[in-house]
Amino acid sequence: MSTAIDLAEVPLRQLNQVLHDAESGGFDVLNPRGAHAVACGITTNVTVEVAGSVGYYCAGMHQVGTVVVNGNSGPGLAENIMSGTVRTTGNASMSAAATGCGGLVVIEGDAGARCGISMKGVDIVVGGSIGHMGAFMAQAGNLVVLGDAGADLGDSIYEAVLYVRGEVESLGSDCVEKEMRPEHLAAVRHLLQAADMTASPADFRRYGSERQMYSFHVDDIDAELAEGAGAVK
């Protein structure tokens, strides 16, 4: 049985403290009314259901458990998520899952600009489309978009992998389309199942780094090591 917490009666700070102190269980957050920083920094295996839309940084620094927003989410949804699951049933504003290091972020609707900016291992599944500069400087993890992607997708990307089913307005610097091999089809299938979304993996295209902007190339490692060894006396 879930515990109901009404933000029309309880201060936001108290809500977050209750969630931090809880070791397990479920919580229904009522009347969020666009509040900011709802359910941030959760470190225990709790399930939080938010009945309505939220403002910026909902479920920021999420580490364990599940947060579901039954509505829309403002900027920075699940910013710096480490593990666990964060889902919004509506749309998400800009910078969703920014700098995320792990876990799963599901956006059932559309996501705004810079979705997955500087992602570092998080998996993101978007049921709709994303705005411009998606996965800007994305370092690791996967971004799956069932709709379209805006301009400059994957600009300055490192080793994250992007899958888009719809149209891509344009690719950013050093981002190129790559072959969809069997292991990538399997990865998309797994992520769609985890997000509880239905689509054919064969309909997606894969994008990633051309690796032309790196200051270090792995092919040069022998020369780099030899030079370094020569400098040691």
pLDDT band, residue 1 (cuts 50/70/90): confident
Residue 230 pLDDT grade (very low, low, confident, very high; cuts 50, 70, 90): low
Helix (H) or strand (E) holding 21: helix 12-21
d(CA 180, CA 32): 42
Q: CB–CB of 161/184 below 8 Å?
A: yes
Residues facing 76 on adjacent strands: none
Mean pLDDT of the chain: 94
41-51 confidence digits (pLDDT tens)? 999 999 999 99
- Domain segments of the chain as ranges: 3-231
Q: How confident is the model at residue 221 (pLDDT cuts 50, 70, 90)?
A: low
213: confidence class by pLDDT, cuts 50, 70, 90? confident
Q: Residue 126 corresponds to which tokens in the numbers above? A: 């978007």
Question: What confidence tier does 232 reach under pLDDT thresholds 50, 70, 90?
Answer: very low
Q: Which residues contact 107 (CB under 8 A, 6 or more apart)?
A: 73, 77, 87, 88, 91, 92, 96, 115, 124, 125, 126, 127, 128
What letter does residue 41 receive in the DSSP assignment?
S
Half-sphere exposure of 160 (CA within 13 A, CB side): 34
Domain spanning 3-231: CATH 2.160.20.60: yes
Question: Mind listing the pLDDT tens digit for each residue in 90-113?
Answer: 999 999 999 999 999 999 999 999
For residue 212, the model assigns a pLDDT of: 86
206 phi and psi, to 5 degrees? -105, 140
In this structure, the number of other CB atoms found within 10 A of the CB of residue 55 comes to 18
| Mean pLDDT of the region 133-141 | 97
94 dihedral zone (left: phi>0; alpha: psi -120 to 50; beta):
beta
Q: What percent of the chain has pLDDT over 90?
A: 89
Instruction: Report the C-alpha gap between 123 and 228 in whole angstroms.
Output: 37
Bridge partners of 207, per DSSP, are 162, 177
Q: For residue 58, report the phi and psi dihedrals to the nearest 5 degrees.
A: -65, 135
Half-sphere exposure of 7 (CA within 13 A, CB side): 23
